[in-house]
Amino acid sequence: MAQAPIPGDGRRAAGLLAPAYLWLTLAVFLPLSAMLFFSFLTAAPFGTESPRATLENYRDFFETPTYALLLWKSIRLGLWVTLLCVLIGFPCALVLARQIRGRAREALFLLVILPFWSNSLVRVFSWAIVLRGNGVLDRTLDALLPFDVRLGLMFTPAAVVIGLVHSYLPYVILTSYLALQAIEDDIFDAARALGAGRITILRRLILPLSLPGLIAGAVLVFVPVVGSFMEPRILGGRFGTYFGTVIEDQFVAVFNWPLGAALSFILLAVVLAILGLSSPVLRRGLT
Amino acid sequence: MAEVSVAGVTMRFGEMTALDDVSLDFVNGGFFALLGPSGSGKTTLLRVIAGFLFPQAGRVRIAGQPVERVPVEKREIGMMFQNYALFPNLTVAENVGFGLRVRHVSRAEERRRVGEALDLVQLSGLGARRPRELSGGQRQRVALARAIVTNPKVLLLDEPLSALDKALRVDMQIELKRIQREVGITTIFVTHDQEEALTLADRIGILRDGRLVQAGPPREVYNAPIDTFTARFLGEANLLPDPLPVPLPDGARLSLTSAAAHAVRPEALTLSPGPIAAAENLLPGRLVSRVFAGSMATCIVAVLGETWKVVARDRDLPQLPENTEVWLGWARADTIPIDRA
Ligand SMILES: Nc1ncnc2c1ncn2[C@@H]1O[C@H](COP(=O)(O)OP(=O)(O)OP(=O)(O)O)[C@@H](O)[C@H]1O
Ligand SMILES: [Mg+2]
């Protein structure tokens, strides 16, 4: 419910918000603008020679087709991981929110959040142990199935997807769960009284009413996955070169900070453009 | 439209028995009000009839068909909930049309019937709104339209008016009665508000601790309550103490039946500063307080160790200081004999 603003409220709100904005400036805006600045230099301003202003780094991206290919590969990775997270996460959230009550729900919730609490490197290396040839997964399946199992998942794009889905699934589960949780139970009774079966209730009530949460979760997954570098590097092996890993290389291996910065901003721009282009669709889902 | 009958229904939740051997018949086209204190099983009975709950014992019939094992989706009922339970993502027209869409009614037919239903609840023209853009009373009407548009066999209402303020509630009561008459649908209505039950229903049933205490036309239940609980629950009742003091105070006289208990309604009493010669029953008491409430006033009087209420038009009650001796008189016909204490 909208309230008429009280005179003087604006100033007080500004006062109260000031620390938050200060923090945003320090933690986000300053480093980002420094990076933006670097991206227009010939070299990071730490060496002996003094850097000059240039557009070279951005031109590099447009003149080297590999970058665009890798960016496209990263976007595809983002779409796949997001799709899988949604397909797995939403049903989980649905079961958690609508079927399970009391203690069991708390316990399951804890399990969902667990990946958040473990170190991401540990998480990725555990997947390496599970997925590698003759690893935990292969041996388990071998023991269970009568024929020889050699999945050879390690160092494939599938391994990267598995690792990323595991890391980012909680976002979709949590945001969807919160949205599902907010739906009044009575409307399901009302729908059943009107003769609606499960499918109708899911399609006409549950999905539309929880779509905002689902979309929020999808965005939370898609954005970082497109720029991810750790999971691709560790689990992807020779398939593990993505746009994110190239950027990381510029910073930690090649020490070409300006190029790394330029590629980062191109990634940011592309991701924002994708979100912007899909926003009419997303907005329809949010109302 | 159909008659509904419940026979020997017992519903347990674990150890807790919410309905204990309840038998009730709801006549075709009738308006039945279920009354009872909180936790007496009203909602449970309604949900058993609706098909949300399956009782452990007993029969439920709708239009003669046993439906104990038929789930709610298949029972062809209309139900209205306390908080309306409108679908927030759908428009008013889509809300009302929901049940028709489920039944694969053609779009043209759906539009026509939704229009008719909205006309009936006097909401024509609001079809494109969302529930959150409606007032409480309007949401109420949408919920009602949605419940009856599918021509259900029975309309079930769980305290549908309790969220409305007093004035709007009275309007909606009149409206609900009009629509029920117009549609002629068998209606079962749960309420806390005994006045509402007496106004709306042509039959009422009183539940207590999961048991049906009494059922019948409102006037009959009001005038001949089967026990002191019903007498006190339905309207106000002044109970004569049991046993009566012997001897009665000087000047008192009572002509009673052999019933287990006797009650007098507050509005049947006459209050006077001195003994009333013509009264067939007469008791002395002490005026405790007097409450003015617009047209009517209430006097609280201590009588034979009980606290009685006298209700009358303000100018018919003598202005007396508190703690004065008063006399209460009433006609023999106004004594309500009660079979069970
Ligand atoms: N799902 C349930 N599980 C366990 N106990 C229940 C359940 N539903 C109802 N009960 C119990 O059954 C009894 C009757 O409940 P019910 O909701 O029918 O009461 P009511 O008459 O509708 O009360 P109110 O006027 O407060 O709505 C209560 O004691 C309640 O605690
Ligand atoms: Mg109830």
Query: Which residues does residue B12 pair with via DSSP β-bridges, in sequence order?
Result: B17
Quote ipTM for the complex: 0.83
Length of chain A: 287
Q: How many CB atoms lie within 10 A of CB B61?
A: 16
Give residue-wise pLDDT tens across range B203-242. 999 999 999 999 999 999 998 999 989 988 888 899 998 8
Give residue-wise pLDDT tens across range A103-152. 888 888 888 888 778 888 888 888 888 888 777 887 888 888 887 777 77
If one counts the domains in chain A, the total is 1
Q: Which domain holds residue A188?
A: 58-117+168-286
* Residue at A15 is within a domain: no
Mean pLDDT over residues A70-93, rounded?
96
- Give me the sign of the Cα torsion angle A84, A85, A90, A96: positive
* Phi, psi for B294 (deg, rounded to 5): 75, -125
What per-residue confidence (pLDDT) applies to B256?
85
* Residue at A224 is within a domain: yes
Contacts of A47 (CB under 8 A, 6+ apart): none
* Residue at A200 is within a domain: yes
B147 touches A at CB < 8 Å: yes
Give residue-wise pLDDT tens across range A209-250. 999 899 999 999 999 999 999 999 999 888 889 999 999 999
Which two structure tokens, joined as six digits, stand for A66?
């590999």
* Residue at A226 is within a domain: yes
Distance from CA of A187 to the nearest CA of B (A): 5
Query: Which residues does residue B205 pair with via DSSP β-bridges, in sequence order?
Result: B34, B215
What per-residue confidence (pLDDT) applies to A196?
94
A218, A263, A217, A175: which is closest to A78 by C-alpha? A218
Distance from CA of A120 to the nearest CA of B (A): 39
Q: Which of B50, B89, B156 sits opposite A209 (nearest CB)?
A: B89
Give residue-wise pLDDT tens across range B188-206. 999 988 888 988 999 999 9
Nearest CA in chain B to A1: B132
* Residue at A135 is within a domain: no
pLDDT at residue B322 greater than cutoff 60:
yes
For atom 1 of ligand 1, the residue with the nearest CA is B13
B76 touches A at CB < 8 Å: yes
What per-residue confidence (pLDDT) applies to A1?
43
Instruction: Please give the interface size between A and B, counted as residue pairs whose CB atoms are below 8 Å apart.
Output: 60
CA pair distance A233, A160, nearest whole angstrom: 8
pTM value?
0.82
- Flag if A193 and B72 touch (Cβ within 8 Å): yes
Helix axes B107-120, B136-148, angle to 10 degrees: 130
Give residue-wise pLDDT tens across range B262-296. 999 999 999 999 888 888 999 999 999 988 888 88
* Phi, psi for A89 (deg, rounded to 5): -70, -40
Give residue-wise pLDDT tens across range B135-168. 988 999 999 999 999 999 999 999 988 878 888 8
* Residue at A31 is within a domain: no
Nearest CA in chain A to B99: A194
At residue A85's C-alpha, the angle toward residues A80 and A88, to 5°, is 120
pLDDT at residue B1 greater than cutoff 70:
no
B114 touches A at CB < 8 Å: no
Length of chain B: 341
Give residue-wise pLDDT tens across range A149-170. 777 788 888 999 999 999 999 9
For atom 19 of ligand 1, the residue with the nearest CA is B39
Where b means 16+ CB within 10 Å and e means fewer, A176-207 reads bbbbbeebbeebbbbbbbbbbeeebbeebbbe
* Residue at A141 is within a domain: no
Which two structure tokens, joined as six digits, stand for B56?
């452990």
pLDDT band at A2 (very low <50, low <70, confident <90, very high): very low
A205 touches B at CB < 8 Å: yes
CATH number at residue A83: 1.10.3720.10
* Residue at A80 is within a domain: yes
Burial of B251 (0-12, 13-18, 19+ CB in 10 A): exposed
| SS3 of residue B329 by DSSP | strand
* Phi, psi for B103 (deg, rounded to 5): -90, 10
Query: Which residues does residue B6 pair with via DSSP β-bridges, in sequence order?
Result: B24, B60
Residues of chain B with pLDDT > 70, as a percent, come to 100
Which two structure tokens, joined as six digits, stand for B318?
């003598």
Contact B47, B60 (CB under 8 A): no
Residues in A touching B78 (Cβ below 8 Å):
193
